[in-house]
Amino acid sequence: MKKLFAIVVSFVLLMSYLPVVNGVSATTQAEYYSVLFNTNNIPEDFDEQVKSLGGEVVYSVPEIGFVQVKASPSSFSELKGMGGVSAANPSISWNLPESEKIEESIVNPADAALWDLQWDIQRITNNGASYELGTGSRDVVVGIIDTGIDRDHPDLEGNLLPGSKNFVPAGGFQGTEPTETGDPDAFDDKNGHGSHVAGSIAGNGAMLGVAPDTGIRAYRVFGTSSAESAWIYKAMIAAANDGVDVISMSLGGFDVLGQTFYIDPETGEKQKLGNDVADFKAYKRVVKYVTEKGSLVVAAAGNDGINATNKNEVTNFLNASYGGDGLYFVGAGFEVPGTLPGVVTVSATGQNDVLANYSNYGPGFIDIAAVGGDARLYDQYVNEGRFGEYLAKRLFETEFNLSASNTGGWYWSIGTSMATPKVSAVAALLVDKYGKMEPSKLEDLLYKTAVDPVKGQDKKYFGNGHLNAFEALQ
């Protein structure tokens, strides 16, 4: 497949990751717990205390005083009451999107013909004019926390720097992925999402990214299944310790600060599952840590089509989405990491700078908008039973974004996942132009120089404005 230069068309609406809230399904109880301590330290005797309960520590992030524990539900109350514990909750997990991919052998990359299909990159670079002002350099690095990368992709390998890492442990998600060895060097992309993101940042070949000479590293936190919050925290910290200038996170989900309940569909028994305070606080600590290390975090707003500033709307959305699994929520729901201070949160637009019909939004939530593709025509044709016609007319070329795949080719996709790396790329261009700076200064520069600004009600959709690499480099 590495030698077959095919376009892969991925018809996926929801490209950001949705959490399995509190790690609970309709048939199983959570046995994995997130534990956050009062300080950024893990007590020396904690492992032994957990063993005395019949449990085990399966993952630790000592830099922020966080561990993941596997234990029986009956021991959860004792776990929460241990000395030094600030908060504990059933672990939040993050799912990969399912996708339909359609391969077509119609492009020879030797002709460099893909540029004409890259309407999204054309919009951000002013039809390539920004390349005359700057394309970045490998002295600046974007760390991509995602599904890994195709390390041999001809459009990516030139900018892939040494130091990429895998954070998926042996056995993968809760022991369900036997092919996962835990090898730190196993950062190859098994899904395609991470390679697609990388292409939008630093593709340089048959396709071009926004910053085609910028250095990239991959920090893999997904295998073929879900990821644990602890792996994401660990990857963010590692990226910051490696000195990356920008951390690009095309993922997101929700934490509930209130109460989560589970109703057994067979017995009708109602069980309190607690809340997500431990994970929420841990995310805040991680963002603070990486920011102090000098890395700017850029994250996707999510693809649920809701006002993420309206906590009731978020909670109602979660209840509607997960009610069939016996779960319901009381309290406030927060999109993370997008709602956290110090994170650049990105909404997605389609052509003509219109908010994508799936993109989350909200005043004070969205910081900047970038092209991520739209699905209006896609939805219309699917709803009318005309999907075959949509494919035959190649209408996806007008809505979806083209970028690298994990098989040496390319595919089309949409989502705030596709908008986020473009913002990360422009942030990297600013570092290359002005030199290393504090993340807060880089964030301010991004909003002041790298956008077509908006006013009034448009701010709740587009934040400070629409991303523009040419403006950033003038």
Q: What is the DSSP letter of 27?
A: S
Is residue 36 within 8 Å of 282, Cβ to Cβ?
yes
Adjacent-strand bridge partners of 57 = 69
Q: Which residues are marked as active site?
A: 146, 193, 417
Pairing of strands 32-37, 19-20: unpaired
Going by C-alpha positions, the residue among 350, 472, 403 that lies closest to residue 359 is 350
- What H or E segment, with its residue span, contains residue 292? helix 277-293
Torsion of CA 110, 116, 118, 122, to 10 degrees: 120
What Cα–Cα distance (Å) separates residue 108 from each residue in 101, 205, 398?
19, 11, 20
Q: Between the CA atoms of 203, 161, 441 and 457, what dihedral angle is there, to the nearest 10 degrees? A: 30
State the DSSP string of 305-353: -SBTT-HHHHHHHHHHHHGGGTEEEEEEEEEETTTSTTEEEEEEE-GGG
Handedness of CA 27, 273, 232, 311 (dihedral sign): positive
What does the alpha-carbon distance between residue 253 and residue 308 come to, in Å, rounded to a whole number? 11
